[in-house]
Chains A and B, each alone.
Chain A
Amino acid sequence: MDTDRFADRLADAVRARTAVAPLTEELDLTVDDAYAIQDAVIERLGGRSTVAKLGLTSRAKQEQMNVAEPIYGWFVDGSATDIGQPLQVDRFIQPRAEPEIAFLTAEPLSGPGVTAAHVLTATAAVLPALDILDSRYAGYRFTLPDVAADNASAASFCVGDPIPVAGIDLRLTGCVFERNGELVATAAGAAVLEHPAAAVAWFVRKLHARGQTLPAGSLVLAGALTAAIPITTGDVVRVTLDRLGSVELSCR
């Protein structure tokens, strides 16, 4: 497998803002191959930040893609959009937004046996989050290895205020997703693998399988609560989560 050639292709797609054909149209890729390509893509784009994101975390999405596991990616350094900053959408190919719950870890997490309970115990705070996706494949047509290689479509993100998770049942936490003041969709936290913390636990186990750990101080966007929507110049998207508050992004 030609890791460098595929990594160049995807990193060039990001820089040139031009979609490319799915890698698996050329070659069968294993999931392990795909994460090796992802590592090389991230290195080319400036290196890994401390912020990760999970994808394909709903059963509906997994069934739609015909896969049985989620994926993860790492935001590259400098890709955050802070509160109050506009999102420059012309930096992207086909940006989409989705509402998520993010976890800020207070302690390192590692090992093959990590569960949602371990994740919750190691969590300093949870935050409302908007995940900005940008698949480097035209029309978001890809297989699981394709999207894993493409860094889980990571583009940018914005998070709200950190809230202690103690006493909050994230499974039942209601989510309201709006664009330009219009309701797009509602959901509850269980839409993410039954419990968003279970998705983070999957991530830690997956990292362990690759000989890695999740350091303290990591921020993990745990996966979409609703379907993603396309965003364009002038759009204002907002996620509001019960007890966690809201976060809003203006697209320029």
Chain B
Amino acid sequence: MTVAEDVREQLAEALYRARLDRRPIPPLTETHPDLDLGDAYAIQQGLVRRLQQDGGEVVGYKLGLTSAPMQEMLGVDTPDYGPVLSSMVHDDGTTLLLDDHIQPRIEAEIALVLRAPLAGPEVSTLEAGRAVGSAVAALELVDSRIEDWRIGLIDTVADLASCAQIVLGAREVPVDGFDLRLTGMVVRNNGDLVDTGAGAAALGDPIAAVAWLANTLAPYDITLEPGQVIMTGALHKAFPVTSGDQVTARFDRLGAVSCRFA
């Protein structure tokens, strides 16, 4: 870490305020060019503490930047993560309010639910697979508290990996007996096909995404716990939504999940 604790706290507060007031702020990397990745995750922790005080527990994690095109766009070679709070999680069919957000975009993902604890380092994909119990069709509304999505890796990490809301399908499907890499997905907006994808779009394998997360959390002595939900990353390019839109993602074997925007 390269900046003082009070600066990190200031930035966490600024991101928290931007989130509440729906007023984006300039990229942290422009106002504080010295920030490193350690600072960014520390700022993220400050933001999580503030959101927890408003009510909400950590119920899992989301991964971001899990595809080669996204990593190339930000000039990085690593994904990132952020905690998911219970206050951000919604049931299938929910209505999300656009006015609660700044510049939201929607993406379809495979969510994995752990049945056993998992702690890095050196967790293999095989071990991660043993700890994963089931998969759920999911949508993530991403939003950036940074102006015009002008984000670098440091900015999005600090800003809770650009997460806003999570919508989870109504049923968990045991992951035994099929290959999540090949699981197909079709996402529609108001019935029109927007994009398609398959599980391998998330770091080559959604299970490998869980292993990456467990290993990345190891230096912080954080163990992934049974019941936690891991959002493994978008299977297509995120797209913007407007009021009245109804987005549905249908996954082979996992079923569908949808939400409406007002």
A residues with CB within 8 A of B: 59, 169, 171-176, 183, 186-191, 194, 225, 240-242
Contact = CB atoms under 8 A, between A and B. Distances in A.
Q: Considering residues A169, A175, A240, A242, which has the most beta carbons from chain B within 10 angstroms of its beta carbon?
A: A242
Contact of A188 (B179, B181, B196, B204): B196
Given A183-B200, A186-B198, A194-B193, 15 more contacts: A59-B193, A174-B183, A174-B184, A174-B185, A174-B197, A174-B198, A174-B199, A183-B204, A186-B197, A186-B235, A187-B198, A188-B185, A188-B197, A225-B196, A242-B178
Q: Considering residues B185, B193, B199, which has the most beta carbons from chain A within 10 angstroms of its beta carbon?
A: B193
A171 B252 CA distance: 9
Interface residues of B, number: 21
B186 A176 contact: no
A34 to B, nearest CB: 28
Given A186-B198, A186-B201, A187-B198, A173 B252 contact: yes
Contacts of B193: 59, 190-191, 194
Contact of B186 (A59, A183, A190, A242): A190
B197 A187 contact: yes
Contacts of A186: 196-201, 235
B123 interface: no
Nearest to A186: B198
Contact of B182 (A190, A194, A225, A240): A240
B16 interface: no
Interface string B131-154: 000000000000000000000000
15 contacts: A172-B184, A173-B184, A174-B183, A176-B200, A186-B200, A186-B235, A188-B184, A188-B185, A188-B186, A188-B252, A194-B193, A225-B196, A240-B182, A241-B182, A242-B198
B175 interface: no
B204 A174 contact: no
Nearest to A243: B182
A59 B197 CA distance: 15
A171 B182 contact: no
A169 B198 CA distance: 14
